[in-house]
A and B are shown apart, each in its own frame.
Chain A
Amino acid sequence: MADMKTAAYICKGCGIGERVDTAQMAKIATKEGKMHLVREHDFLCSAAGVQTIADDIEKEGVTHAVIAACSRRAKTEAFYFPSVALARANIREGVIWARPDTEEARETTQEMADDYLRMGCGELKKMKLPAGNPDTGHAKRLLVVGGGVSGLTAALEASKTGYQVVLVEKSAKLGGWSAGLYRRMPFREPYAEPQDTGMDELIKAVTGDANIKVITNAVIARTDGAPGRFKVDISVESGPSLTEEVGAIIQATGFSTYDIAKLPELGGGKSANVIDQVTLEKLATEAAGKGQPIRRPSDGGEVKTVVFVQCAGQRDESGKHLAYCSGFCCGASIKQAMYFKDANPAIDTVVIYDDLRVPGNGEDFYRSAQRKGVTFTKGKVSSVVPQGNACEVKFRDLILDEDAAIAAADLVVLATGQVPNSGVNIDIPEEEVAKMEVKPVSILNLTYRQGKDLPQLTQGFTDSHFICFPYETRRTGIYSAGPVRRPMDMVQAAEDATGATLKAIQAIENAELGRAAHPRSGDLSYPIVQLEGCTQCKRCTVECPFGAIDEDEKRYPVFNESRCRRCGTCMGACPVRVISFENYSCDTVGAQIKAVDMPDEFSEKPRILVLACENDAYPALDMAGMEKNCYSAFVRVIPVRCLGSVNTIWITDALNAGFDGIMMMGCKHGDDYQCHFVKGSELAAYRMSKVDDTLKQLSLEAERVVSCEVAITDIARVPQLINDYAAKINEIGMSPLKGFA
């Protein structure tokens, strides 16, 4: 690193100059930090201060700069120097605002500031300016799997944006379930009548679009590669297989209907007159084609009474059927009830529901049905018993709180739910799959080491776990849209597909530039592995939350950088520390740990290392500072990309350096996990459970290393956690390892 030129800038503004001795810090930066250039400034984020740094970069050839001022979360516009490696030492939120402004606190506060600068200098010298992933892909086409309303919309929207599309549909015809509807629910005002589905026009638009290559009767035989360079083998029924290169994939494989034969108590499979909503659509279309009313399937008799049973096989708490609500079925039954009422107002049309769920303007549609004379009964259907050409529908009337019955319904429509077509559940172990009667069929046939299909969130849906980020699948560049992601109706599916198309296009553009996708969007660093040291332990390939790492035939890891989200979980997993990022590595953090000035065991000044998730715990600490919620001066905080990136070497390093305690602060894990890298905090907790052995070997107490879940709102709790832990360390005493480093 002959051409590395380092500089430290120490800001005196916002009270830093009054609270700590910046001249002393400058000396530390020069002598201990070995910075080539050290400057103090009264107001570093001012135009003049920023210019000073810019001038040094340009004229002095500074390549690495540490800014000792406010938090890395503040003044990001001012301190934007993309051409140099940059470290920030948090002297404002992390030191002077987190400490009382008293004479007695002065010494320890100064020690904190000095250490953060030492740490910044240490980190800086181990950093490199990220150059961007060189393994970029340039395929700009999109693959859309599924030719229903979601897939068709995705294809058309991509084409409108100027991208080419390969659309693969399993069946012979485009249109999916939507094409089989007689009418759809209204999607704009007045929300009063069923509407034409518009599917003919949509299909025509897609088939007539020169940007869209439609392949029907086809499935995906193999998907290999990464965003920007997927290679997809498409096997076509009665035809030669094709291989297409695409940049991103939208999975719009929709749903299957829940089999009503599984609902014999509701007459499912026991009578031709007990049907599901899809079958009613077919009957309605056929009847309309003949210009006749909908007839009773069993004998073609007149329908005088029709009953809609909501939540059939849904919202089920017994574990036998679907546990969820499919959301669209109340609206669909309202629409179907109108088919009858519009044809003949004398038809007795009853919807039996528990909670009628028509959000938004669906309420107008509901009112319209009430005006047409559809009867809505709050109740729970207990049985549907076919008797000849009629069915007896027994139910508990929940308003009158009594048992009731409809003696002779000509037609009973079960509002069953959507079952996602999501392929193989990769979380089910192979042994268990082997025992299954019906083997799941993969949709994408990914060659990924972690499995053939998108990971499922719950109930088979490939939804994102994140409220704020509905499109975040765990496979970069592959987005799901429509009812495979979450149960939904046509209008939502089209909207969803449009959003997913943007994400797919974004993935293509990111891959081409070699930068990361959400949540570290734009990050140019990427994992670099030194295979010489690799022991083929496979931890990185197993633990990567995004399935970015495959294995070659010798079981060495193969990194697919454009699938990677830069969380560093692989780096944390690696027992031989051969994985690193240019600006974030075992060395950059290790150097910070080792840079801390360690008081001796008689000083009564313990040192506590805090490794804090940069997205939640670190901002919480910042905000604690902003609100002047003070905490112990004995802590030294290092932000980490994710607790999953914490390598146990840091723990060993810290203990050997004489740290008396280590706190790991990460996001909540478990079912409602909040880790943005899915399982980072969970992995960290697991790894730390193994640290106990290390502690024992070193004859240290188990409490020397603790993990805690911290949320971004814990502005009052975090200081308390720190102070409690500092008291605890005080109780168990200073580390016996001090002074042996």
Chain B
Amino acid sequence: MAEVVATNQTILVVGGGISGMTAAIEAAECGKQVLLVEKSPTLGGRTALLYRYFPKLCHPTCGLEINLRRIKSNRNIRVLTLAEVSAISGKRGAYSATVKIAPRYVNENCTACGACAEAVSAEVLNPYNYGMNKMKAAYLPHAMAYPQRYVLDASLIGTPDADKAKASCKYGAIDLEMQEETIEIKAGAVVWATGWQPYDAAKIQPYGYDRFANVITSLEFERLADPHGPTGGKILRPSDGKEAKNIAFIQCAGSRDENHLRHCSRICCMASLKQTQYVKEAWGAEAKSTVYYIDIRAIDRFEDFYQKVQKDPTVSFLKSKVAKVTQDKSGDVILHGVDTEGYHRYANAHDLAVLAIGMQPSVAGVDIPAEIVADSSGFIESSAADSGFFGAGCATNALDVNRAVQSSTAAALRAIQVINKLARAEA
């Protein structure tokens, strides 16, 4: 299948979230050839799963639409999905990457008509809603998915459902014989934009994420507010579907903590401030948000947003690192700790607790060249002068979207420098 022509003039971008897409698009719009490799079946990454951005409360899919249009209209970019770079060798100007492409079981003929999803009955957990609901095992990842092409979950293969899916497709798009492929890609420069993953909330034992249904992460909360989410955009708590109106936001869940992540994840304060506005959007004056924080890091002009939220009567702030969370019989979560402003102990009941979960770089598990240096937290550091390998976005630091895009744009230029130098040498 994958006939991929790449040369040492090609920029390989690894990761198809907003950082990788940006690096790819910006380089391509400078006239460079780009190969964009994404591990999941669709571009868009984590930002596609956010309901709104801070501080404007605008929708990430709006920018995604623009970026997708830029990709669709630019022939310099080729996109490989379900593809993972498993090894890279070579040097600046002459890399060779091993790319493993997992079978989609659906080929380019797919029109995204949805007949296969209707035909199958098997369901799998929906990773685009962080497993909070199920989806058909033949699926389009989400409404903004690109490529707009269905996927058969591997668990379907060999079951009668797989045959049903195949039979339902009039366009010969389903190929149950598809196998994993490994291809070698040449590239002159590499941009590594594999993004971030949430810190494993279950490791923060006192918060009981693994024990209490009504303790969820900030990412899961995004899905609860999103009209494409498991509740259709209604903020209902997981244990009993009760309307969650009284919500606790626990800051620094995993961050700024030598037992977990040493660094500050930068985005979580603003994310929680933003999420208090979802609660208000949903329930109006009945909404009650409480932010448990150490420092509110609403940096630069985000300060405006913080001041606006401080004035919001539905939101209150409590300076405290929450010590412990319990859940009572009714399903309410009880937060225990000490209010450091005045040293009062509290045991506050909430319908739902949202952990403002820390950001960890997703750089593990790949045999990347020795020239890439990561710091002790796993973030990629700036490369040596003779390297053609550049980190971008949240793989390099805990960044918000704006700064991740800035970082990716810079990384794209560094990659172009390698290509241009090569072109000048060969001319």
The interface-forming segment of B24-32, B85-93, B131-139, B175-183 is: B24-32
Asked if residues B420 and A161 are in contact (CB atoms below 8 Å), the reply is: yes
Task: Pick the residue among B70, B319, B379, B413 that contacts A161 (CB under 8 A).
Answer: B413
**Measured CA separation A623–B61 after assembly (Å):** 12
Query: Is B155 part of the binding interface, using a Cβ–Cβ cutoff of 8 Å?
Result: no
Closest to A362 in B: B264
Distance A469 CA – B75 CA, assembled complex (angstroms): 21
| B397→A360 contact, CB < 8 A | yes
Distance A412 CA – B377 CA, assembled complex (angstroms): 35
Total contacts A to B, CB within 8 angstroms? Answer: 236
Interface residues in B272-302 by Cβ distance below 8 A to A read: 295-302
Q: Cβ of B56 and Cβ of A467 under 8 Å apart?
A: yes
A713-B417 in contact (CB<8A): no
* Chain B residues, CB < 8 A from A15: 113
Q: Which of B340-378 contact A (CB under 8 A)?
A: 340-343, 375-377
Q: How far is the CB of B179 from chain A (nearest CB, A)?
A: 22
Contact between B61 and A713 (Cβ–Cβ < 8 Å)? yes
From A135-143, A351-359, A724-732, give the one contacting chain B.
Answer: A351-359
Would you give the 0/1 interface string for A140-171, flagging 1 where the beta carbon is closer than 8 Å to chain B?
00000000000000000100111000000000
Interface 9-mer from B5-13, B326-334, B403-411: B403-411
Q: In the assembly, what is the distance between CA of A706 and CA of B118, in Å?
A: 38
| B227 / chain A contacts, CB cutoff of 8 Å | 713-716
Query: Do A502 and B412 contact each other (CB < 8 Å), given the known contacts A364-B262, A672-B56?
Result: yes
Q: Count the B residues whose beta carbon is within 8 Å of the partner chain — how many?
A: 89
Cβ < 8 Å to B, chain A residues 6-42: 13-15
Q: Which of A456-464, A537-545, A601-609, A680-688 contacts B (4 or more CB under 8 A)?
A: A456-464
Which residues from chain B contact A672 at a C-beta distance below 8 Å?
56-58
Beta-carbon nearest neighbor of B21 in chain A: A468
Evaluate contact between A499 and B413: CB separation under 8 angstroms. yes
Q: Are A495 and B406 in contact (CB under 8 A)?
A: yes
A58 within 8 A of B: no
In the complex, whether B46 has a CB less than 8 A from a CB of chain A is no
Are the C-beta atoms of B228 and A715 separated by less than 8 Å? yes
Flag if A359 contacts B170 (CB, 8 Å): no
A325/B298 contact (C-beta < 8 A), A189-B375, A315-B303 known? yes
* CB neighbors of B among A306-365 (8 A): 315, 317, 323-327, 355-364
Kindly identify, within residues 439 to 483 of chain A, every residue whose CB is under 8 Å from any CB belonging to chain B. 458-459, 461, 463, 465-471
Counting chain A CB atoms within 10 Å of each CB, which of B72, B111, B301, B403 scores highest?
Answer: B111
Q: Does the CB pair A188–B266 fall under 8 Å?
A: no
Max chain B C-beta neighbours (<10 A), residue from A327, A400, A471, A499: A499
**Cα distance A400–B307 in the bound complex, in angstroms:** 23
Q: Which of A162, A360, A510, A518 interacts with B263 by CB under 8 Å?
A: A360
Q: Knowing A14-B111, A466-B63, A712-B61, say if A188 contacts B375 (CB, 8 Å).
A: yes
* Known contacts A363-B263, A499-B410, A713-B226; is-contact A461 B30 (Cβ 8 Å): no
**Any B CB within 8 A of the CB of A46:** yes
Identify the closest chain B residue to A161 (Cβ). B417
**What does the 1/0 interface line of A38-68 toward B look like (CB < 8 Å)?**
0000010110000000000000000000000
Known: A15-B113, A189-B375. A712 touches B62 (CB 8 A): yes
Compute how far the CA of A469 lies from the CA of B62 in the bound complex, rounded to whole angstroms.
Answer: 11
Known: A359-B264, A715-B143. A521 touches B73 (CB 8 A): yes
Give the complex CA separation of A322 and B56 in angstroms.
20
A566 to chain B, nearest CB (A): 13
Instruction: State A623–B171 Cα separation when bound (angstroms).
Output: 22
CB within 8 Å for A75 and B301 given contacts A615-B62, A619-B65: no
Chain B residues near A162: list those with CB within 8 A.
Answer: 417, 420-421, 424
How near does chain A come to B356, taking the closest CB pair, in angstroms?
Answer: 13
- Assess whether A401 is in contact with B342, with CB atoms less than 8 Å apart: yes
Contact with B along A480-504 (1 / 0, CB 8 A): 0000001110001001101101110
How far does the alpha carbon of A470 sit from the alpha carbon of B18 in the complex, in Å? 13
Given A361-B375, A715-B227, verify A470-B301 contact (CB < 8 Å).
no
Query: B416 contacts which of A161, A363, A518, A521 (Cβ < 8 Å)?
Result: A161
Which residues in B have their C-beta under 8 angstroms from that of A356? 295
Minimal Cβ-Cβ distance residue in A for B68: A73
Q: Is the CB of B143 within 8 A of A626?
A: yes
**Distance between B393 CB and nearest chain A CB, rounded to angstroms:** 11
Q: Looking at chain A's contact residues, is the secondary structure mostly helix, strand, loop, or mixed?
A: loop
> Is B98 on the interface with A (CB-CB < 8 A)?
no
Q: Is the pair A74, B148 in contact by a Cβ cutoff of 8 Å?
A: yes
Nearest A residue (CB) for B71: A76
Which of chain A's residues has its CB closest to B73's CB? A522
B143, B148, B226: which has the most chain A beta carbons within 10 Å?
Answer: B143
A76:B73 contact, CB within 8 angstroms: yes
Q: Which residues of B contact A261 (CB under 8 A)?
A: none
B150 on interface, CB distance cutoff 8 Å: no
Minimum CB distance partner of B30 in chain A: A506
A residues near B414, Cβ cutoff 8 Å: 498
What mask results when residues 158 to 190 of chain B are scored 1 for a CB within 8 Å of chain A, else 0? 000000000000110000000000000000000
Contact A615 B66 (CB under 8 A): yes
Q: How distant is B409 from chain A, measured CB to nearest CB, in Å?
A: 3
Contact B63 A467 (CB under 8 A): yes
Q: Are B382 and A357 in contact (CB under 8 A)?
A: no
A385 touches B (CB below 8 Å): no
Within the complex, what minimum Cβ distance (angstroms) separates A296 from chain B?
31
Instruction: Say yes or no: is B67 at the interface (Cβ < 8 Å to chain A).
Output: yes
Q: Which residues of B contact A623 (CB under 8 A)?
A: 143-144
Which of chain B's residues have a CB closer than 8 A to the CB of A467?
53, 56, 58, 60, 63, 401-402
For the complex, give the distance between the alpha carbons of A272 and B171 in Å: 81
Asked if A189 and B413 make an inter-chain contact with CB atoms under 8 angstroms apart, the answer reads: no
Q: With A13-B113, A45-B111, A75-B111 known to touch, is A469 a contact of B303 (CB < 8 Å)?
A: no
CB of B224 closer than 8 Å to a CB of A: no
| Contact assessment for B263 and A364 in the assembled complex, using a CB-CB cutoff below 8 Å | yes
Q: How far is the CB of A374 from chain B (nearest CB, A)?
A: 16
Q: A400 — which chain B residues lie within 8 A by C-beta? A: 342
Report if A519 contacts B (CB, 8 A): yes
Q: Inside 8 A of A76's CB, which chain B residues have their CB?
A: 72-73
- Nearest CB on A from B355, distance (A): 18
Task: Decide yes or no: A503 and B409 within 8 Å by CB, A188-B382, A521-B74 being known contacts.
Answer: yes
Beta-carbon contacts of B196-239 to A below 8 Å, as 1s and 0s?
Answer: 00000000000000000000000000000011100011000000
Q: Show the binding face of A for B, using Cβ within 8 Å.
A: 13-15, 43, 45-46, 70, 73-77, 80, 157, 160-162, 188-189, 315, 317, 323-327, 355-364, 367, 378, 398-401, 458-459, 461, 463, 465-471, 486-488, 492, 495-496, 498-499, 501-503, 505-506, 509-510, 518-519, 521-522, 615-616, 619, 623, 626-627, 667-668, 672, 674, 676, 711-716
**25 A–B contacts from the bound complex (CB under 8 Å):** A43-B171, A73-B69, A157-B413, A160-B417, A161-B416, A188-B375, A188-B382, A323-B303, A324-B300, A360-B263, A360-B397, A466-B63, A467-B402, A468-B66, A468-B401, A469-B66, A486-B300, A486-B301, A502-B26, A502-B409, A505-B416, A522-B70, A626-B114, A712-B59, A713-B226
Q: Return the 4 tightest CB-CB contacts between A and B, nearest first.
A: A468-B63, A499-B409, A498-B410, A359-B266
Given contacts A325-B303, A615-B69, 16 further A-B contacts (CB under 8 A): A14-B111, A43-B111, A317-B307, A323-B303, A357-B297, A363-B256, A459-B301, A468-B60, A469-B405, A470-B406, A492-B403, A501-B413, A502-B410, A510-B29, A522-B74, A715-B143
Q: What residues of chain B have their CB less than 8 Å away from a CB belonging to chain A?
A: 18, 25-26, 29-31, 51, 53, 56-67, 69-70, 72-75, 109, 111-114, 143-144, 148, 170-171, 226-228, 232-233, 256, 262-266, 295-304, 307, 319, 340-343, 375-377, 379, 381-382, 397-399, 401-403, 405-410, 412-414, 416-417, 420-421, 424
